[in-house]
Every structure is written in C-alpha cells, then in structure tokens.
Amino acid sequence: MEAQDAAEAVVPGVPRLRSLAEVAELVTLVSPLYVRFSAGPAADAAAGSRDHESGCVLPGLSVNPLAPEAWWDRPLEHWLARQLCQYAHLMTPHRFPWVLTGQVAGRGPDCEPLLVGTTPVASIDRSVVDEAEATYRREFRPGDDGR
C-alpha cells in the first residue's frame, strides 16, 4: 500500500467518516465505539494485537474509546480530537483509523481497552485526523504537565 493509499483506505461495507462532526454524530447514535489504527479488520483478524515492547500477544485488539468519560465537560468534538491525536502517530502507509465495537476482554500495557468479538462500524478519512490535529492544537495545551 502506498502512502497515499493509507489516507484513502476504507473498510468495505461500512461508511467513511469525513469530519469530526460525522464521528461525533455516530458516537451519539452507537455505543460503545472505539478507534483503532491498523491495516484494517481483515488484517487484524489474521494477526491480532501484540505489545511491541514486550512481544506479548494481547487477548484482544488494542483500541481507544470514542465516548467521553462522565467527567468530561467539554464538547464531544474536543474529546474526539484528543483521542484521535493520541494515536495519530500510528498512521503509516499501512495503517489507518477505523471505528469498531466489541466486548472489552482486558486492558493493554497502556491501560487501553482490548476488544474481542469486534465489528467494524466505519473508516475515518485522513482529513478527519487533520481536523482533529487542528482542533487539538487550538483547544488544548499539548505537553503541559501542570508545572
């Protein structure tokens, strides 16, 4: 897959989200939803998830939640921007963000949910990650550790 192809990657049979507003609308309609940056559902079904630092095979797919926690008092789009930006570094020519649901089977080494029984729900266009990064830079203080 070429670099440009990753940005254009889609998950067959599911909608392609092209804005944070579309992601937000989906999150308000379907719960729970998660995002994963990978080569897609078919590749994940064949390979699963592995903790790259330890080499351990994980008992589910490593994901990031799209629904905000109860304490979140800002707009949903801000939560989504932060969640997408936390893992945007995982986008490569062979990995793209996609939305899925499933059952939490445990937690990974970064305390992220590990899903089993997954169902693809949507793919996320590169333009959404770009919008998320712009929103994150505008609305947050990246790197501020409170000191």
Going by pLDDT thresholds of 50, 70 and 90, the confidence category of residue 145 is low
Residue pLDDT, tens place only, 40-71: 999 999 888 889 899 999 999 999 999 999 99
Torsion, Cα 103 24 90 3, to 10 degrees, reads 120
For residue 30, give the H/E element and its range: none
Q: What is the mean pLDDT of the chain?
A: 90
Residue pLDDT, tens place only, 68-124: 999 999 999 999 999 999 889 888 888 999 999 999 999 999 999 999 999 999 999
Q: Which two tokens stand for residue 16?
A: 């392609």
Task: For the full predicted model, state whether its pTM sits above 0.85.
Answer: yes
pLDDT on residue 1: 36
